[in-house]
Amino acid sequence: MILGLISPLAAAGTLNGEVPPVSQPIPAVVNAWGVLYQARQRTEQPVGQGQTGETHEDLLLAESALRVLLAENGKAVPANIQIATHLQNLIQQNATLLEPGGSNVQEKGYSDLEKLYDPRLIEQARALANQYRCAMHPEVVGSKGTSCPRCGMPLNSQVRLTLEATNTAIPARMVKARVQIDAPLQVGVRVMGHLALTSLGGEPITPDQLREVHTRKIHLLIIDGSLTDYHHEHPIPSAIPGCYDFSFTPQKPGTYRVWADVQPVATDVQEFAMTVIPADTRAEPLRIEPDCLTNTVNGLHYTIEFEQPVKSGEPVQATLHVTQADGSGYGQLEPIMGAFAHIVGFRDDRTSALHIHPELARPLHPNDRGGPDLRFRFYAAKPGFYRLFVQVQRNGQSEFVPFALNIPLGKMPSEWEKNNCSSGKSSPTVFDYGIRITKTTLRQQRARAAHRCKDDGNPS
């Protein structure tokens, strides 16, 4: 008899994913089978569908899971000889998975092994292996494809199981960012920048370690101290592993904050790795303004309408209305980065960024056109004043529409949100990132020890 079983509902989370993952211990046999299911899924994926050199690692992971099952079977009194024999055979066959026909032989071995276990245990292991989380709000877990109640995005990031884990803990942040520029910032002068992405241990993060999200692997969100000059750039890989080149033209004096919006393959969870670009000049003051949810840019009138009052920690449905000068709806917005609009927000503490997209029923074609009404789910973890920017595209050119929004206190942020710059980790320590302005080459820059600055780089 198998003891300590958990219910399929507890293993899979709630249907809408609103409740955080369960923290109760998961039986080692259930967890090992869950790891096996996930490892087999990944090794069977064709290269180019999310598999990036994972085959060898997943084969090793599968073998370790088989050995856990063998050890757990040995603890039973008496041990099941049939299970032990099947497990030993599968361990020997594991290396043949990549050989022609090998996967079919092993698939039958797994099928035969499953029949020797309690069907309830197998059902629970499958449910455990098929948990998915929101990449933007990883504490939300549920069935694949269901919508995140906070942002409306589908739950499409599989909860990665490990043999050491006994629950669906949220992965820790793993990306650090550093920006170096070729010359001091000057208003109106384009500057070349070099973004270095590294793991917490200092290893370079290369393009194959990042997911493509909305047609790009890196979305670089850049804002000045007054929260009025916003740039959205997409750095390109350089010859140096983990280094990416970009450029932008500052329109305001002072220090700029930078968020690298990335989704590592290893965790499938969105991160905002923050750093700063210092300047010799002083930033314009940040002005806390009353709510302003209407604006006109280049002849088009934009309005954001919320269906209920906005509070921190509470998702709310919203609509972006786009109209022409005569009041008629405008429906010719072009796709940009896989959406008809991108809504980015920055909190007054200058350590919080939001990146939101309108709801889409299908992937967009270049000839598709959007508007006049774009629905989206708005969610901000912390209260405060936010400068919002709606980015759209017309005639092949990006246009940015600013708004102002004051968000009162609602629910408190989750632990992940407290520690991810997207949700406002207060008082950042910039020496965690490293900052330097230099005219030397990037290779020379990397060869030297990074300057460690105790000042938090606050643009004010």
pLDDT number for residue 454:
32
Q: Specify whether 136 is located in the same domain as 12.
A: yes
For the stretch 141-162, pLDDT in tens is: 888 888 888 888 888 888 888 8
Selected residue with higher pLDDT from 260 and 436? 260
Strand partners, 178: 196
Q: Specify whether 34 is located in the same domain as 144.
A: yes
Q: Give the strand pairing for 243-248 and 236-237.
A: antiparallel
Residue 423 lies in a domain: no
Residue 452 lies in a domain: no
Residue 455 lies in a domain: no
For the stretch 209-237, pLDDT in tens is: 999 999 999 999 999 999 999 999 999 99
Residue 110 lies in a domain: yes
Q: How many helices (H) and strands (E) does the chain have?
A: 8, 20
Q: Specify whether 21 is located in the same domain as 141.
A: yes
pLDDT number for residue 311:
96
pLDDT at 423 over 50: no
Q: What sign does the dihedral 295-303-421-215 (CA atoms) show?
A: negative
Q: Specify whether 268 is located in the same domain as 310.
A: no
pLDDT at 459 over 80: no
DSSP string, 250-314: --S-S-EEEEEEE-BTTT---EEEEEEE--SSPPPPP-----B-EEEETTEEEEEEESS--BTTB
For the stretch 52-77, pLDDT in tens is: 444 677 888 899 999 999 999 999 98
Q: Specify whether 198 is located in the same domain as 252.
A: yes
pLDDT at 444 over 90: no
243-248: strand order across its sheet: 236-237, 243-248, 191-199, 175-181, 436-437
Region 95-108: what's the mean pLDDT?
Answer: 57
Residue 165 lies in a domain: no
Taking the CB of residue 408, how many other CB atoms lie within 10 A of it? 10
For the stretch 169-185, pLDDT in tens is: 677 888 999 999 999 99
User: CA-CA distance, 222 to 211, in Å (whole number)?
Assistant: 21
pLDDT number for residue 166:
54
For the stretch 112-130, pLDDT in tens is: 999 999 999 999 999 999 9
- Domain total in the chain: 3
Residue 362 lies in a domain: yes
Selected residue with higher pLDDT from 40 and 120? 120
Q: Which of 123, 158, 193 is the last residue of a domain?
A: 158
User: CA-CA distance, 317 to 313, in Å (whole number)?
Assistant: 13
The burial of 142, by beta-carbon neighbours within 10 Å (0-12 exposed, 13-18 middle, 19 or more buried), is given as buried
DSSP string, 429-459: -GGGT--EE-SS-HHHHHHSPPP---S----
Residue 457 lies in a domain: no
Q: Which two tokens stand for residue 275?
A: 């750093």
Cβ atoms of 159 and 415 closer than 8 Å: no
User: CA-CA distance, 119 to 115, in Å (whole number)?
Assistant: 8
Q: Which two tokens stand for residue 386?
A: 């936010």
The secondary structure of residue 421, as a DSSP letter, is: G
Residue 349 lies in a domain: yes
pLDDT at 408 over 90: yes
CATH number, domain of 342, equals 2.60.40.1940
Instruction: Write the single-letter amino acid at 373.
Output: D
Mean pLDDT of the chain: 82
CATH number, domain of 222, equals 2.60.40.1930
Print the domain residue range for 341.
Answer: 294-417
Spatial CA neighbour of 220 closest among 276, 155, 285? 276
Nearest 5°: the CA angle 301, 303, 395 is: 45
Q: Specify whether 397 is located in the same domain as 317.
A: yes
Give the global pTM: 0.76
Cβ atoms of 62 and 156 closer than 8 Å: no
Q: Specify whether 14 is located in the same domain as 149.
A: yes
pLDDT number for residue 266:
85
Contacts of 104 (CB under 8 A, 6+ apart): none
Q: Specify whether 196 is located in the same domain as 276.
A: yes
pLDDT at 249 over 90: yes
pLDDT number for residue 22:
46
pLDDT at 139 over 90: no
Q: Specify whether 116 is located in the same domain as 143.
A: yes
Spatial CA neighbour of 415 closest among 23, 14, 15? 23
Q: Specify whether 374 is located in the same domain as 392.
A: yes
pLDDT number for residue 151:
85
The secondary structure of residue 94, as a DSSP letter, is: G
Q: How confident is the model at residue 395 (pLDDT cuts 50, 70, 90)?
A: very high
Q: Specify whether 246 is located in the same domain as 313.
A: no
Spatial CA neighbour of 347 closest among 426, 400, 413, 276? 426
Q: How confident is the model at residue 168 (pLDDT cuts 50, 70, 90)?
A: low
For the stretch 265-315, pLDDT in tens is: 888 899 999 999 999 999 999 999 999 999 999 999 999 999 999 999 999
pLDDT number for residue 232:
98
Q: Which of 158, 188, 223 is the last residue of a domain?
A: 158
Q: Specify whether 147 is located in the same domain as 196.
A: no
For the stretch 339-389, pLDDT in tens is: 999 999 999 998 889 999 998 878 899 999 999 999 999 999 999 999 999
